[in-house]
Amino acid sequence: MEKKPLVLLVDDEQDLCTLMQMSLSRMGIDTHIAYRLQEAVQALKTHQYDACLTDLNLPDGNGLSLVDFIAQNYPNLPVAVLTAYGNMDIAIAALKAGAFDFVSKPINQKHLEQLLQKAFNQPISQLHIQEDTLEHRLLIGQSLPIQQLRITLKKIARSQAPVFITGESGTGKEVVANLVHRLSNRNEGPFIAINCGAIPTELMESELFGHRKGSFTGATQDKQGLILSAHGGSLFLDEIAELPLTMQVKLLRAVQEKRIRPIGSDTEIDVDFRVISASHQDLEALVQQGKFRQDLYFRIHVMDIVLPALRERGNDIILLAQHFIQKICQEWDIPVKPLSERAREFLLAQYYPGNVRELRNMMERAITLSDESSIDLPHLQTAPLRPIAQTNYANATQQGAVGNDQLTHVPSRKLPEEGLELYLEKIEKEILMNALNLTHWNRTLAAKKLGMSFRSLRYRLKKFGLDGEDDSV
């Protein structure tokens, strides 16, 4: 007969304990009850539990003390806190102290069941400690910041707490978000990535929450929202600072209550997901400016991951460069080209405002330019940006007065052989590339320089296949 999971329930409300014990019994889970902090400590010393549920307010102490005790002495034991509605600040403090998750009172049976199912699943990072682990394959490098990042990820893998990733543009935020998901006990569920800046405002609620047929003009059928698509897995909200304030309110409730209401629906749907968010902007500053809701900020800003800039990673630059060379050469079916010593010195000396993304672009350009068997310094030095075509009239104006005889010699431009549309697309792509190079691939700044919205820029980058992220950092 299979052994039943054993859960320690810590709460001084006897009626609640009895009800929860009955509920857990129907789930096939055995329970031990402790009404005081010291009773819980003694129980932990004498029994082996699969999970622990503790109230925050106990007669002889604070539930946070128990969370700390378990984190220090039983680091592999998932502990969730029970919290009354409106006591979210303390619940978040518990998550930061090492709690697995929290359950709001009155207890939702469905949420409790989902929480314990996740608690009983061991995260991947607990099962494998070899060098050839997922975090070693995707986090390339041996620098101290990367080693510390791997340690942080192992800690985060044990929790269901929201994760906030910050770092400069190009540091690999989506890669790390995906890694958080794959290392966690949600790895068998979906990973849904949403770029909050890429969805038009008028479509955002429908995209995130879904809609019912006939709820608005054009709603010809039911549509499942992206949040519901993340059920059982992780929801990654990239560039969350781009969310309009109206959507921030609705997202806050979805994250906090784990419930959504599609447009046109009379009922709410329970959704089990872990939220992971990211931004290259300073959210705290945006809160001060009134551009980002403080309550949402505190709700998503529980477990922090700060990604190091490439220039802070030392010799990882060479390891990453070699990784990209091998990958690109394999994709192009050409022999792998080693880096010369001069090339290595050049790479180590660069500032990399575009970080890992910039390095990958450099390697791709170098491989393209190199006709030799290796990559040397000339292949890495950035070619001068092609200026926008100017007429002879403009050039002459800069030099001085323009005579009629000069104007008569302005050559006429030939008609493009590829046709007008393809020619204009080529010009558009060149201008986009120039803007991106000038801003070191800071897309927000590039959009500003081009006089267009961020969403318009993202659309065009997608159109030309310039919006990709590499799968390594």
Ordered domains of the chain (ranges, CATH): 6-120 (3.40.50.2300), 146-306 (3.40.50.300), 310-380 (1.10.8.60), 419-473 (1.10.10.60)
Please check whether residue 44 is in contact with residue 33, taking contact to mean a CB–CB distance below 8 angstroms.
no
End-to-end CA distance of the chain: 46
pLDDT of residue 433: 82
pLDDT greater than 90 at residue 134: no
At 20, the amino acid letter reads: M
Among the listed residues 351, 191, 195, 209, the one whose alpha carbon sits nearest the alpha carbon of residue 279: 195
pLDDT of residue 426: 79
DSSP letter at 100 equals: S
The answer for residues whose C-beta is within 8 angstroms of residue 297's C-beta and 6 or more apart is 283, 284, 287
The band of 428, judged by pLDDT with boundaries at 50, 70 and 90, is confident
DSSP states of 116-170? HHHHHSPPHHHH--SSSSHHHHHS---SHHHHHHHHHHHHHHT--S-EEEE-STT
pLDDT greater than 50 at residue 120: yes
The pLDDT of 370-390, averaged and rounded, is 67
Mean pLDDT of the chain: 83
**Which DSSP helix (H) or strand (E) runs through 42?**
helix 37-46
Query: What are the CA-CA distances from residue 27 to residues 109, 110, 138 (Å)?
Result: 10, 11, 38
DSSP letter at 340 equals: P
Q: How many helices (H) and strands (E) does the chain have?
A: 23, 16
Say how far apart CA 271 and CA 233 lie, in whole Å.
10
Does the pTM of the predicted model rise above 0.85? no
